[in-house]
Each structure stands twice: as C-alpha cells, then as structure tokens.
A and B are shown apart, each in its own frame.
Chain A
C-alpha cells in the first residue's frame, strides 16, 4: 500500500511538471480510480516558433502501467506527418533505449525532448509526394498543407487545376437552382481536408527533380512470365465459359431496356454505370485491345 502511494506521488509530480511546461499542448486522461492512464502530446521540431517552418510532426501517446515508473511505459507514435517509415522506426528504437535506461525514474519529458530533437534534425519532409510518388529534393518547391501533408507545388497545382475543372464541368451540367453557391473548394488529396491554396502561384513551380531523372521502365523476365500466366488463365476460363461476353450482355441489356420501355416508360435504364462510364471505349472492348490502341504507348517511351 505504502509502495503504491509513493509510486503515485512520483507520477503525480512528473505530470504536474509536464502540465506546467506544456500547458494546453498535453492531454492526460485518468481511469475510473483517478489514476493517470494515457498521456498525449503532439510534438513539432523547434524552429523558434516559426510555425510555417515546421515541416514534420508526430503525436506521442504514453500509456502508464500501474507500476510506472518502476517499469517501462507503453509508447506509441501516431499521425506522423512528413516522416517516412524508416525515420519512425529509428525513433521507436531510440525511444525503447531511452525507456530502458530510465526505469525507476520519470521518463516522459525525456521522450518528448528526444523526439523533438529528432524532428528538428529531419525537419524536411522525408515522405513521398502522394501525387507523383517521388521524394523531395533540395531545391524542389513544395507545399505543406494545413493538415501537414506534403506535395510538390507542381503536383498540387496539377491536382487542383483538374479538380477545379471537374467541379466546373459538374456545375455547368446542373440547373441554376442546384448550382453550388460556394464555388470551388480545394481539398487535400490524402485526407480530403479543405485547404487554402493559390493555384496560380503554385502553377509557376518547376517539376520535381527526382521526377525528371526517374529511371526508365524495363520489361523483365518476371513480367513476361506473369503476362504468360495471365494469358493462360484467360484461355482456360474462356474455355469454361467463364469470361464475360460484353457484346452478348449488351445486347441482352438492350432487349431488357426496350421491353421495359414499352411497359414502364418512366423507369430510366440509361444508367451510365459507375466505373467504366464509357464501356464502349474501344480500349476495353471484350478485354482485348484494339490494334490501333495497342501500339500507341511503348513501355520505354518515357525518356525524352
């Protein structure tokens, strides 16, 4: 009993100190017996409070077992932004070492410090741009959204111009009373949060460097084997009647449409379908490419 009281006091002291330093930036939840259970805080690199120079962040979650600090706490890193897997794995390892060294003493502030130091060192997004899938190189112009996602300005401009155009096209189709009064709202491609961006300014950015110097594509032996396997499966399934015959199905649909039009003209069967809005696209006809389409793009035509 005396032991657990003492433990509790030590934890209480540690948490009070943390609250005094971090104030609103830390949240502590207690269980039904009033013992602290979970501590959460989002950590940013130290950039002398220049918020727009903070390119990375991560949320630290510490669970305190009853025996803490005489045992290691359970640590989780959540919502990493601008950090790739290897940076996160490296952080986990340092955290583990730090916890092991500090058994018997309060360790949470040490952890926050350790993480902040690491973030400050790698305060340049190490993740990929989700639009082009290439990284950020020195000199690339990139944009950090309010939701802490990263894009080459060039790629984000592309995304926004196209979604804006799609929005406009959809609006033009609507009758006046259904049109949106708000206008186009840009959203983040990764998390769909609303973002504020100056598309015209982004458009002036140069293409990313890694993108410019990317490798060409080569047809490997593995690829040829897989292609062969695809062909075999196709022929086998075809011989079993397992392949959809688009033409036959379309004719059937046509018949159904015609006869239902005769009986119930109000029911529209003109549904363009969800995914292949353009099923007559010759490229996809019967699962076989038309000759004219097949030769358009060559595997390694990517070099300029």
Chain B
C-alpha cells in the first residue's frame, strides 16, 4: 500500500504537540488518514457547552485535494445538513494545499460562531434562521443540550 505522506505525519505530530484550543483531532488506530475529531461549541454561540464529534478523511491526493469532513453528532445549523455535511467554501473550490487540518477545523469552529443562513445547506433550518432567528437559536441550544453533551 502507498506510504503515508510525510506532510500528514508532520500535521499529526503538530496536532498532538500543539493542540488548537477547543479542537482535538486524533488519527484512527488502523488508518492514519482517518481522524476522529471533537470540536467544542464556541462561547456565546448556541452551541456553547456542546462537544461535537466529526470525522475527517484525507483523500489519496491530499494536500492537493481537500479533506472530507462531516459532523457525526447531530447539530442544528443552517450550513450543516441532516447528514452532517458542511457547506464551507474551503472544502470545495477554495481549497488550497497551504491550508491544513487545523485551519479546516478552525474554520468549522468559526462557522459555529457565525452561521450564515444566506448560504444554506439545511434548507428548513436556514429558513427558520431567517424568519425567526430567536426560535432557531432556541432549537440549536436544545439540540446541543440533547445530543452534544458528555457524561
């Protein structure tokens, strides 16, 4: 099988040695291209207090192609659909090999702080976010409390 690119090794080491606050990413035991991720809900956002599990996979031609990332924990957010898929430009056409696992996860954390209902992925959520923001935020808090807690 193909050797693991050294860039991936270097990123993994740095993620371990200098973790980003509020984010942890650990490679899977048997596939070093597959990362288990926890993103902490940012303060002053409806996701505050939640721990969100994500999965991140580095495709064969990473870093030339973007990582594939999705939420595993349910989340009520206009830019994240029911399957956990994320609407974020740097994961699509704005990807550049100068970005890293850590920058991707930081952008996702920033997306939790600043939902953007005008560029929706989850249509019903985005709709409510636009017509009745306070109810949408209540829902997001409720989902966080119900699904994204730790024991």
The docked-state distance in angstroms from the alpha carbon of A216 to that of B87 is: 34
B24 touches A297 (CB 8 A): no
Q: By DSSP majority rule, is chain A's interface helix, strand, loop, or mixed?
A: loop
Chain A residues within 8 Å of B, Cβ to Cβ: 130-134, 158-159, 162-163, 189-190, 192, 211, 214-217, 219-220, 222-223, 226-227, 229-230, 233-234, 236-237, 240-244, 246, 249-250, 252-253, 273-276, 278-279, 281, 283-284, 287, 289, 293-299, 301-304
* List of A residues within 8 angstroms of B7 by Cβ: 131-134
Tell me if B106 is interfacial: C-beta within 8 Å of chain A.
Answer: no
Query: Once the chains bind, are A131 and B98 in contact (CB under 8 Å)?
Result: yes
B22 nearest CB across to chain A (Å): 14
User: Quick one: CB contact mask for B10-44 with A, threshold 8 Å, 1 for yes?
Assistant: 11110010000000101111111110101000000
Chain B: interface residue total (CB-CB under 8 A) = 62
Is residue B82 contacting chain A, with contact meaning CB distance below 8 A? yes
Contact A237 B53 (CB under 8 A): yes
Report the Cα distance A222→B148, complex, angstroms.
24
In Å, the complex CA distance between A242 and B143 comes to 9
In the docked arrangement, what's the CA distance between A296 and B30, Å?
Answer: 8
List of B residues within 8 angstroms of A133 by Cβ: 7, 10-11, 100
Q: Give the shortest distance, in Å, between B34 (CB) and chain A (any CB).
A: 6
| A–B complex contacts, Cβ < 8 Å, 10 sampled | A158-B64, A234-B36, A237-B149, A242-B146, A253-B83, A274-B91, A287-B53, A294-B31, A299-B27, A302-B5
**A274 near B98 (CB under 8 angstroms)?**
no
Is there an interface contact between B10 and A274, defined as CB atoms closer than 8 Å? Answer: no
Q: A237-B53, A274-B87 are in contact. Are A293 and B31 (CB under 8 A)?
A: yes
Q: Interface digits, B130-151 against A, CB 8 Å rule (1 contact, 0 not)?
A: 0000000000000000111111
The CA-CA distance from A275 to B29 in the complex, in Å, is 24
Known: A159-B97, A275-B85, A301-B1. A289 touches B26 (CB 8 A): no
Q: How far is the CA of A246 from the CA of B6 in the complex (A)?
A: 32
